[in-house]
Structure 1
């Protein structure tokens, strides 16, 4: 594997974790793998001699769930074990234990599983299975009430190194086009973002004395901006962009794009297609973490992936993506969408052009900032071991960047 360019932001991103590791996690994983995978996994540590040994370690980088790598040693001298290992039995898997979603369910809102919020994980199972079947996500091996078991992929997450290579950028665009084209049989709604923003602002004002906190912390942007009016303006602005409603990932950022480590030296994949082959035929990347996926604006995913593009410092806000990269990405996205949907897709010249896609990405960068601003205001559980004051200061920083984007786009005539 070639040396990988990394940044302070990526290194810290890969250390994210939530909650304590259960004291009995080895027993939990042994029981789950034995029950749902069977075969050699059911023979682990059962008290008899020459049984396979289980290795369990936590995988960091997860922001919602807990993930555990589980592996059976394949050096057993037991003949039955050797036969099963030779019969394509997976010896490495990932056990996912569900955590509480950061974004509350509210019917059609992101992460919602119904108008009453029940069975929200049912949607997740449907989405994970469909993504797995299409080769867009990890292979799903089992589901249980509190989690799942899936294929283990030797990987790292999408970062600076991949952002600078055309083969990764263009394949990422193709994967997103395929994801957007999935006909997922769940509730269809196109404006979860409006519901989320409005509900979070209401919640924040109910839970916290925000005005007093802004003064005490001297968060100048939060003190001076009327967020209710600003959100109303943003809703009108996003509607005017005319971004189509698709099945969107809604958390489409580098941390949720897996880079196959064995792909680094294979020289595979570029931006060009020959009309017969998809840009994603040579698999370099896999998408993951679909907990917040639902029908929504196409542009939200564009804004998400480019929101931290080129970001090197954890404490910085805002990406650094060039128009050249945006156009290259959108050209591949459009080509793959045409391959899937035929020339009729390209003929919708109002929204399915490179220029329109680039505009969507830029305008929805503002939506990304407002999403995180509202999260900072309303959250009661503090991520990254931060205090509420620190989270509010982060929200103020986000709002400052949002205003920079707004003023820039207004001066350029990109928005009105």
Structure 2
């Protein structure tokens, strides 16, 4: 999707009363640069976006890295204004070629409604390869944080609220549309690197396709509620202000209408971190603790057992779909992304875990559905 089309969409959003006008710039920032080389370009971008800063000396700007994941780079820009105030904003730079796996139009449509509902940072501006948002004074969580009971309860409560947000437009769940799009792209790659190509050729895409069809059919029997889902609730997409105890959800790039159990199952998979240590996947008791605070945030101990069991089955079946989604995503990134991360190995880690978990999860779901 071209930048002009995105900007037009944002201007329409501003005019329809859903949010203030969004500033825009055609400038882009080369994400392959080191921070010292990148900083002058970020400052130039800020001056282009914010005319009130255009005449300030560059020495009044400070640029630092907030976090660098395997998709985006987050920068904090602090500006010492002439009034003496120090203003801070967040500049989010998209990873190169992420348009192959992310629907930016869908993201921009949702972000203003999520922001109005109190989620994430406020969207201030967009530019050639990123966006500017209000600065959140908080730290990103670690995989260890996500297991702490107090934070588990808070994440569950916040997710309950998140899933109540109404995003105008189609309510069609996107999971299978997105997975099959990924499958088409992932199954038609060719790598210049001989070792990557050799590994790629060991993958049976017929097997994966059969797995997708079987799982789609089974999950369809669960009648999982449809919600607007985050779809990427890993530790790096939570921020916590330790002093205030305030938790924030950020980065809605993969957000869409989807199945409730998918969002939760995907979150549980992320307990494993980028290292994919699936021994950290939450036990049934740990999951039930989460479910209680998700289903009845104000009265977690009053959740009926049948509701806990239903959500347990739903979550641990859709958990399998999460592995397939991110495995195929990893293959596409292995071809498209210049980021120094072994995406090919990531595919195998996710797909192998899918195969390891498949039989027990599917058996559980089938027993539940047949009442046996």
| Residue aligned with 1:81, SS | coil
Residue matched to 1:104: 100
Residue matched to 2:220: 239
Q: Tell me the TM-score normalized by structure 1.
A: 0.68
**Alpha-carbon distance change, 218 to 370 in structure 1, aligned in 2, over 3 angstroms:** closer
Deviation of 1:242 (Å): 1.7
**Alpha-carbon distance change, 155 to 32 in structure 1, aligned in 2, over 3 angstroms:** same
Asked whether 1:149 is paired with 2:132, we answer yes
Asked whether 1:381 is paired with 2:336, we answer yes
Q: Which has the higher Rg, Structure 1 or Structure 2?
A: 1
Deviation of 1:172 (Å): 0.9
Aligned length: 334
Aligned partners of 1:37 and 1:142 also within 8 Å: no
Residue matched to 1:271: none
Residue matched to 2:6: none
Structure 2 gaps of 5+ residues are 1-29
Structure 1 gaps of 5+ residues are 1-16, 47-51, 75-79, 106-110, 113-119, 269-283, 340-345
| Residue aligned with 1:290, SS | coil
Deviation of 1:225 (Å): 7.6
Provide, for residues 117-172 of structure 1, a one-character-per-residue CA deviation record: whole Å limited to 9, x for no partner: xxx44x43332222222221113333445433222223222234433433321121
Deviation of 1:28 (Å): 3.5
* Distance in 2 of aligned mates of 1:129 and 1:337: 28
* Distance in 2 of aligned mates of 1:240 and 1:139: 38
For residue 89 of structure 2, the aligned residue among 88, 93, 102 is 93
Aligned partners of 1:154 and 1:261 also within 8 Å: no
Residue matched to 2:180: 198
Provide, for residues 8-55 of structure 1, a one-character-per-residue CA deviation record: whole Å limited to 9, x for no partner: xxxxxxxxx96435876434433443454454x344207xxxxx7111
Provide, for residues 31-84 of structure 1, a one-character-per-residue CA deviation record: whole Å limited to 9, x for no partner: 443454454x344207xxxxx71111233323333322111247xxxxx523xx
For residue 406 of structure 1, the aligned residue among 346, 355, 358 is 358
Aligned partners of 2:222 and 2:314 also within 8 Å: yes
Asked whether 1:358 is paired with 2:312, we answer yes
- Please provide the CA RMSD for this pair: 3.7
| Residue aligned with 1:97, SS | strand
**Alpha-carbon distance change, 217 to 65 in structure 1, aligned in 2, over 3 angstroms:** closer
- Higher mean displacement: 294-303 or 133-142: 133-142
* Distance in 1 of aligned mates of 2:339 and 2:69: 12
Aligned partners of 2:62 and 2:79 also within 8 Å: yes
Residue matched to 1:81: 83
Q: Tell me the TM-score normalized by structure 2.
A: 0.75
Aligned partners of 1:317 and 1:397 also within 8 Å: no
**Alpha-carbon distance change, 162 to 215 in structure 1, aligned in 2, over 3 angstroms:** closer
* Distance in 1 of aligned mates of 2:43 and 2:292: 47
Residue matched to 1:33: 46
